[in-house]
Amino acid sequence: MLLRAALVIFFMLNLSAAAWWVAGPRVRAAVQAPPDAPQLKLLSEAQASAAQARGPAAQPEATGLCLRFGPFAGPAARSGARDALAALGIEATPFEDRSGASSGWDVYLPAQASRAEADELTGKLKSQGVDDVFVMNEGSHANRIALGRFSSEAGARRRVEELRGKGVEAMIEARGSGKPRIWLDARLPAGMGQARVAQIAPAQALDCRMLR
């Protein structure tokens, strides 16, 4: 009797489980999103994608420091400095500053044999309407007839043309050493400071646009 009751209960439990399986809620199939729907991404993934789209970051062009070395005492000293710079991989360009080569220009007539002859010639020049004329009486230029001193060569040449119009063939001469100052212009490699080349020659900063 007990065995029959146990079998009936076991049968009813199986029947109830089968009924629940058939009539109970089913697991819904995963819903597929449309192909053009926006996809969720992690922040790190979004940043990586954006960086890849931009490509490598543009780096500013390294121009280096530009310097003017000198002035040098002469061509030999400049050549030595140029070789020392070349040993560091620096190409230097020679530069000559002629602005200090002369302190002015003199217009004159050659020295006369005596002071008396110089005075006589000076009188004739004045009678021809030549002004600013006098006789030099000292040094190696004694008895020379000075006809003007000018700060620029152009001004001296205008004076020569003026005198030629009055029948006077004057001469022109530069005053001063007559020697130009010589330098070296160079652009240092990027990352190289002025201290690296300080022992080669004195140098001053130079606008890189002035390099030829």
- Predicted pLDDT of residue 6: 59
Give the strand pairing for 92-97 and 145-150: unpaired
The string of pLDDT tens digits covering residues 55-91 is: 544 444 446 799 999 989 888 999 999 999 999 999 9
- The CATH number corresponding to 104-175 among 3.40.50.300, 3.30.465.10, 3.30.70.20, 3.30.70.1070 equals 3.30.70.1070
Q: Which residue has the higher pLDDT, 38 or 200?
A: 200
- Predicted pLDDT of residue 27: 47
- The CATH number corresponding to 66-100+179-210 among 2.30.30, 3.30.450, 2.40.128, 3.30.70 equals 3.30.70
Cα 166–Cα 112–Cα 107 angle in degrees, nearest 5: 45
Q: Which residue has the higher pLDDT, 58 or 36?
A: 36
pLDDT classification of 174: cutoffs 50, 70, 90: confident
The string of pLDDT tens digits covering residues 87-106 is: 999 999 998 876 555 668 88
When computed from its CA atoms, the radius of gyration of the chain, rounded to whole angstroms, is: 49
| Domain boundaries, given as residue ranges, for the chain | 66-100+179-210, 104-175
The residues with which 145 forms a beta bridge, in sequence order, are: 109, 135
**Do the first three CATH levels of 66-100+179-210 and 104-175 match, i.e. the same topology?**
yes
CA–CA distances in Å: residue 126 to residues 3, 119, 123, 141, 172? 163, 11, 5, 21, 20
Q: Residue 170: helix, strand or coil by DSSP?
A: coil
- Predicted pLDDT of residue 34: 57
Residues in contact with 42: Cβ distance below 8 Å, sequence separation at least 6, in sequence order: none
